[in-house]
Amino acid sequence: MNKLQTWVEKNWYAATPGGLKWLAPLEKLYLKLFNKNQQAYLSGKKTAVHLGVPVIVVGNINVGGSGKSPLVAALAKHFKNLGYQPGIVSRGYGGKAKHYPQRVTTYSNPQEVGDEPLMLAQQTQLPVAVDPNRAAAANLLVKEEGCDLIIADDGLQHLKLARDIEIVVVDAARGFGNGHCLPLGPLREPVERLNKVDWVIMQGEKIQEASQLNLKNTLHTYQLEFSGWRRGDGHWQKDCPFTAGQAVNAIAGIGNPQRFFNQLSQLGLKVKGYPLADHAQLTQEHLKFYEPKAGNKTPVVMTAKDAVKLQAWLNKNHWIAEVTASLPKEFLDKLQNQLADASKIHVN
């Protein structure tokens, strides 16, 4: 990340806005426009698209990653095993497709469809489509793929797509920052929005701010766990390929790179982390920068999200750490019942 990004995030995730206080008028303008858009849907001036099948939106109120995509993958696989035919939709952030809506296959170009949709297509082997208009992407999957359940990766604020269930994911390590909305703070919506969604689920341990929210709904937590290790030449193994105390270079272009570095450190590894901007455009030059010096075979470890953009240049010195969202049974059981009720409504 560049110095400006680092400085802004430091002020976003501090107790107060600090050097960003001069942005307060812009926060007021942002909220005015945001509320106007919401009111347009509530009043009927703008109309949401109903697909005739249940829709689950997995989003957040913070800018940046919070662990949404692993949760989306876990939910899609779970409901697939229960007999549903789920499809996944996304904006396709970072991608510039020639036309929309765009189907995503395991061989799609991440520069066209975005890194996270491609990662989800590879991990789930389920239908995935991208479009800035998520409703159009969802309609494609329902009409052409026969999907009877749509799961939206992000899109809590994209009201064009009508939804039956809203799940907000919170990164416990980062919390809600200074509590302000864009651009003064990291929030897309005020924290009070959490009382209007169906589920609030926190990635990591509960944070102090959460206990003070007086949430109307139960706060669940889940963990991201390493589920396998894929080497750049195609070799895959379940267990960590490194020994305790071994040095590794780690690349992470996700919302919270430090979370990934901490996970590796918890395995007893000596991690030299290289944080990158979320959705960073990666090329072979990045791997050359991290190539070990002559005689030094320090392995390079990366996230699956970064690997889809570097796949053409990976070799046996590169490892992709796959993660899976471990979800509490109570949450899945209650969500399953809620989805069953939603399905009956659409059938009727």
The domain that contains 164 carries what CATH number?
3.40.50.300
Please check whether residues 234 and 171 belong to one and the same domain: no
For residues 104 and 117, the answer to whether their CB atoms sit within 8 Å is: yes
β-strands 128-130, 102-104 pairing? antiparallel
Quote the pLDDT of residue 278: 86
pLDDT, position 4? 83
Name the burial class of residue 107, with classes exposed (0-12), middle (13-18) and buried (19+) by CB atoms within 10 angstroms of its CB.
exposed
b/e map 331-341, b = 16+ CB within 10 Å = bbeebeebbee
Q: What is the model's pTM? A: 0.93
- Other beta carbons within 10 angstroms of residue 278's beta carbon come to 21
Range of the domain at 207: 3-222+327-347
Residues with Cβ < 8 Å from 177, sequence gap 6 or more? Answer: 12, 13, 14, 62, 185, 186, 187
Buried b (16+ CB within 10 A) or exposed e, 202-229: bbbeebeebeeeeeeeeebbbebebeeb
Contacts of 268 (CB under 8 A, 6+ apart): 244, 245
User: What dihedral do alpha carbons 146, 152, 156, 161 form, nearest 10°?
Assistant: -20
Does the CA dihedral 152-327-342-199 come out positive or negative?
negative
Question: Are 107 and 206 in the same domain?
Answer: yes
Is residue 175 domain-shared with residue 90, that is, in the same domain?
yes
Let me know whether 215 and 236 are in one domain: no
Taking a C-beta distance cutoff of 8 angstroms, is the pair 181, 70 a contact? no
Statement to judge: residues 175 and 29 lie in one domain: yes
Q: Residues 6 or more apart from 29 whose CB is under 8 A from it? A: none
DSSP assignment letter at 20 = G
> What is the pLDDT at residue 67?
83
In this structure, the answer to whether residues 272 and 341 fall within a common structural domain is no
pLDDT at 5: 82
Residues 234 and 195 in one domain: no
The pLDDT averaged over each successive group of 10 residues in the chain (348 residues) is 82 91 96 96 95 96 87 97 98 91 95 95 97 97 98 95 96 88 96 92 73 68 93 95 94 90 96 88 76 68 95 93 94 95 84
pLDDT of 296 reads 60
Would you state the pLDDT for residue 287?
78
Tell me, yes or no, whether 255 and 331 share the same domain.
no
DSSP, collapsed to helix, strand or coil, labels residue 236 as strand
Q: How many domains does the chain have?
A: 2
* Residues 21 and 158 reside in one and the same domain: yes
213 and 278 belong to one structural domain: no
- Token reading at 243: 């020994």
* Statement to judge: residues 237 and 171 lie in one domain: no
Residues 178, 74 share a domain: yes
